[in-house]
Structures are given as C-alpha cells and as structure tokens.
Structure 1
Amino acid sequence: MSEFDNVTAPPPPAAGDAPQDQRTMALLGHLLGIITGPIGALIIWLVSKDDASKGFVVDQSKEALNFQITVFIAIVISWILAFVLIGLLLMPLVGIANLVLCIIAGIKANNGESYRYPFALRLIK
C-alpha cells in the first residue's frame, strides 16, 4: 500500500445537501450580479459570513463576488481599450458571458451544487 492510497480529494457536495433557504440565497447571490454587479453578492456575503450554519451561502456568495469583481475589471479594461476600438467588441462579449455564467451558476446553486466559474480572480478567500 502506497502513501497516496489514503490521500484523495474530498467528494463534491451532493445535490440537495444545503437547505432550501441557503440554496435560494446562493441563487440570489449569483443572479443579482447581472443587475447590481458585485454589490448584491457583497451584501449577501457580509450578512452570512459570520454564521457557521450558512456555509453554502458563504461559499457561493464569495464565488459570485469574485466573479463580479473579475467582470468589473474586464469592463474597465474594455472601456480603456474602446479608444483602440477593440474594447467595443469586448464589452458585449463580457456582458453576454456575465449573463450566461450567472444564470448557469444560479441554476447549479439552486440545485444545491457548488459552482465554480471557469475564469474568475479568487481575490476573496
């Protein structure tokens, strides 16, 4: 038996492990990013971060907050690049990616699954 036999990654959380109220709050954290940017996820994270029983909400609101910060940075860079005209192409792409990925994340969170955005700066740990 090698030393790596007992070292495995923790299993992903099974669908439906989180209570319904936490799944709803996580859904809101992801979907509010479409309308409010990072503010909605920030408020949900600040309200829930000290409550140990809301681990799913804290995890998903941090993920949504990190993604919305990444989207904000991408929009700022697109505005700067708009003077070179490439930013005019990037802004709609960033907006569409934000919309699609937030909807996917909201659906996964509502099913009780932890969702990780494919590209996001992990600034809040």
Structure 2
Amino acid sequence: MSLPHATAPARDPDFIPEAERTPALVIHLSPLLGLVLPALGNVLGPLAAWLAFRDRAPVLDRQGKEALNFQLSVWLYSFLVGLLFFALFSLGLLGGAVGAAAGSGSLGAFAFFGSLAAFFAFFIPATIVLWAFPLVVMLLAVLRVNQGRAYRYPLSIRFVR
C-alpha cells in the first residue's frame, strides 16, 4: 500500500515524484553553502544545483528557480538594509561632527548616540531577521519537498523566470 502523496496525476505540476525528491532536497539545502562561503555561497549553491538538475525534470527546473530567486531576493534585501544602515549611521556621525564644529557638544553627542541607537534598534534586529527567515523557509521547503509537493518561497522576487 502506498502513501496518498506517493502517486498523483501526471498533470499536477506541484507533485514531485519519488525519484526527483533527493535532487529537489539538494536544491533547497544548497543555500547552506553560505556557511562555508559567506556573502555568496547562499546564491552560488542554488545556482549550481539548479544548473545541475534543471534538465532532469521540469519540476526540478521550477524548484531550482524558486530557490535561486529567493536567495537573490534575500541578498538584495540584505544589501538594501546595509545601505540604509550605512546612510543612517553616516548621517548621525556627520551631524555629530557638524554639531561639535558649531560648538555644541551636546548636539554632537546627541547625533552620535542617535547613530548608536540606529545600530541597536534597527541594524541588529534586521540582521537577525535576514539570517533566521531564510533558514526557516528553507526548512519549510525541505519538509514540503520531502512530502512530494513543490514549494514556493514567500517574499521572493522573480529574477529568473
């Protein structure tokens, strides 16, 4: 007797056959390369896995694109958060320097501590979210693929169609 999800109509594009589940799992786990190659491994892993498995089955092509698009989106979000933090921190330091040059030490200190507050109130929580969220959805993708169903990542920009 087989499990209910072991067989599905051939026309169901979200069904992942048993033979394709291991490559699909490799695709969804490939962002862990980011632990070895920080900043690029989480994108290079899905790219390499997608290129290796995309010709094997249409479902692997779609799942590879999903994983790659999500990791590219996370990379873009991280870059934008870093850019925003850099701008806020720089404005605070610039404001502190201008305030100190104008002869107001308290204004300079206020701007400097505002920059530190931006670091602790904005950058650290955003960094934690940008680290934990991809890990959680990657694990959800692995669980769903293991059940034989395709996974579509949330908050993903479709760079590769």
Shorter-chain TM range is: 0.7 to 0.9
Which of 1 and 2 has greater Rg? 2
What is aligned with 1:33? 31
Following TM superposition, by how much is the alpha carbon of 1:26 offset from its aligned partner in structure 2, in angstroms? 1.1
What is aligned with 2:142? 106
Does structure 1 residue 48 correspond to structure 2 residue 53? yes
- In the TM superposition, 1:3-82 aligns within 5 A as 13-14=14-15, 17-20=16-19, 22-34=20-32, 35=34, 36-49=41-54, 51=55, 53-82=56-85
The structure richer in helix per residue is 2
The amino acid across from 1:101 in the alignment is: V
Does structure 1 residue 118 correspond to structure 2 residue 116? no
The amino acid across from 2:25 in the alignment is: L
| Cα deviation digits, residues 29-48 of structure 1 (max 9, x gap) | 11221333111111111122
TM-score, with structure 1 as normaliser: 0.77
TM-score, with structure 2 as normaliser: 0.62
Q: 1:76, 1:88 → 2: CA distance?
A: 14
Q: 2:57, 2:148 → 1: CA distance?
A: 13
Q: How many residues align?
A: 111
Task: Calculate the aligned-residue CA RMSD, in Å.
Answer: 1.9
Maintained 8 Å contact 1:23/1:56: no
Q: 2:14, 2:129 → 1: CA distance?
A: 31
Of 59-68 and 36-45, deviating more is 36-45
Q: Runs in 1 of length 4+ with deviation above 4 angstroms?
A: none
The higher-RCO structure (CA 8 Å, 6+ apart) is 1
Gaps spanning 5+ residues in structure 1: where?
Answer: 1-9
Following TM superposition, by how much is the alpha carbon of 1:11 offset from its aligned partner in structure 2, in angstroms? 5.3
